[in-house]
Amino acid sequence: MITGASRGIGRAIAERFAADGMHVIINYLRNDEAANEAVHAIAAAGGSASLMRFDISSSLAVEEALASWEEAHPDEYIDVLVNNGGIRKDNLMIFMQDEEWQSVIDTSLTPLFYITRRLLKGMVSHRHGRIINMASLSGVKGLPGQTNYSAAKGAMIAATKALAQEVGQRHITVNAICPGFIATDMTKDLNEKELSKNIPCGRFGKPEEVAALASFLAGEDSSYITGQAIQINGGLYT
């Protein structure tokens, strides 16, 4: 399952996982057109995917959606979870409104708790699982104008490290990916040409490059890697 996977990095991960032979559950909330397009693209490439529409920021919606899925698939469990869904609402803290702070925390951090808690039950009972939390460069070094987003992603990294210690003996790994500037809808309002001057690799990253890292962390070759926050930023920050 990949949350917020109808576009951008989430969709790239969904396509890569499907190419790896996984059945991918794409979570989304509003954009039916993009979600259906993602499923069709995966099917056209020979992969398998399905949609699960629910609000990741609602504990009740998460419980209802996942309970319904489990009822329909009694002999299966979700063994790979990518907590990817999130939003940005940038502003200087002195001007930041309550809603700008709370909505980012509610959508970019709290769903990690709601969804992971629910799916851990299956992973623990089957003694296998992969949890990948999509953090950010903003959560590692902090970025001006993103105190809300930096707080959410920094907390996600801390939660990753703590949870990895709780479930490691059950053969469940928990890692965070911390992308820098990746060319997606979320960064389309940024000045790519100017910002790229500060990136040693000289460009924004591609969603497919992040997906390749997620693919590795979801596989068996990464079974001894857990509790890590892995940066993928073109050398912008180390």
Identify the structural domains of the chain with CATH numbers, from first to last.
63-68+75-232 (3.40.50.720)
Q: What is the pLDDT of residue 237?
A: 84
Out of 28, 77, 114, 149, pick the active-site residue: 149
Per-chain mean pLDDT for the chain: 95
pLDDT digits over 38-52, tens only? 999 999 999 999 999
Q: What is the pLDDT of residue 185?
A: 76
Q: What is the pLDDT of residue 150?
A: 97
Does 188 have pLDDT greater than 90? no
Q: What is the pLDDT of residue 129?
A: 98
pTM (whole model) above 0.85: yes
| Percentage of residues in the chain having pLDDT higher than 70 | 100
Is 58 in a helix, a strand, or coil? coil
**How much is the average pLDDT of 65-85?**
96
In this structure, what token pair is assigned to residue 146?
A: 């993103």
Question: How far apart are alpha carbons 55 and 57 in whole angstroms?
Answer: 5
**How much is the average pLDDT of 9-32?**
96
Whether 225 and 219 have beta carbons less than 8 Å apart is answered as no
Q: Which amino acid is present at 86?
A: G
Total length of the chain: 238
- State the DSSP string of 215-232: HHHHSGGGTT--S-EEEE
**How much is the average pLDDT of 18-26?**
96
Q: What is the per-residue burial (b if ≥16 Cβ within 10 Å, else e) of 159-171?
A: bbeebbeebeeee
Q: Whose CA is closest to 172, among 132, 113, 211?
A: 132
Least confident of 45-54, 149-158, 188-197, 206-215: 188-197
Torsion region of 120: left, alpha or beta (phi above 0 gives left; psi -120 to 50 gives alpha): alpha
Q: What is the pLDDT of residue 190?
A: 78
Q: What is the per-residue burial (b if ≥16 Cβ within 10 Å, else e) of 17-56?
A: bbeeebebbbbbbeeeebbeebbeebeeeebebebbebbb
* pLDDT band at residue 152 using 50, 70 and 90 as cut-offs: very high
**How much is the average pLDDT of 85-95?**
94
Mark whether 149 is an active-site residue. Answer: yes
